[in-house]
Amino acid sequence: MKKFMNGVESMLTESLTGFAKAHHDIVVLDQEFRFVRRRRAKTGGRVALISGGGSGHEPLHSGFVGSGMLDAACPGNMFTSPTPDQMLGAAEAIDCGGGVLFIVKNYAGDRMNFSLAAEMYAKECATLITDDDVAVERSEHSAGRRGVAGTLVVEKVIGPPQSAARDSMP
């Protein structure tokens, strides 16, 4: 057996639902299944962090939503970029006045869709492209160096320190 799922069409919804139930103390699933976000929102005008990408790389990115890391993650379908509407919904849900930083891997679909979301977002935002893949400098199949492993490091390094992240906890 290669896969353990009920069906391709329901895989993302079911996996996100299960993830949110298993970690209900840390994350909340958007009612439209577009993203997961931190249960305890940031306060005080801090910059909110959003990342995402195609499902199939779990626990990246949904598994890194929480204190000291991401504020929201937008998972696309299996190996498919999330849509601009997912990212826009996440940005609107988590922006607490300090703007939004989109952390994007260097895949054509991710770059295009996150760029569209940034254009659609009416408030302050910025984009950070990760392209750490030293194995791919030039390729017919990619936009250059992809960002995979390095994205996790970026998400952690620019996430607030734990003491700052606790500011919103009861």
pLDDT of residue 21: 96
Per-residue pLDDT tens digits for 32-78: 999 999 998 877 788 999 999 888 777 778 999 988 899 999 999 88
Mean pLDDT of the chain: 84
Burial of 140 (0-12, 13-18, 19+ CB in 10 A): exposed
CA distance 52 to 72: 8
Pull the structure tokens for residue 118. Answer: 């940034």
Q: At what angle do helices 108-120 and 84-94 cross, to 10 degrees?
A: 50
Which domains, ranges and CATH numbers included, belong to the chain?
34-162 (3.40.50.10440)
Q: Is the bond preceding residue 59 a cis peptide, omega within 30 degrees?
A: yes
pTM comes to 0.85
Q: Which residue has the higher pLDDT, 36 or 10?
A: 36
CA distance 64 to 71: 9
Q: Which residue has the higher pLDDT, 170 or 113?
A: 113
CA distance 169 to 123: 25
Residue closest to 22 by CA, chosen among 60, 52, 62: 62
Ranking 17-21, 29-33, 133-137 by mean pLDDT, the lowest is 133-137
Ranking 10-24, 100-114, 133-147 by mean pLDDT, the lowest is 133-147
Which residues have a Cβ under 8 Å from the Cβ of 49 and sit 6 or more positions away? 69, 70, 71, 72, 100, 101, 103, 155, 158, 159
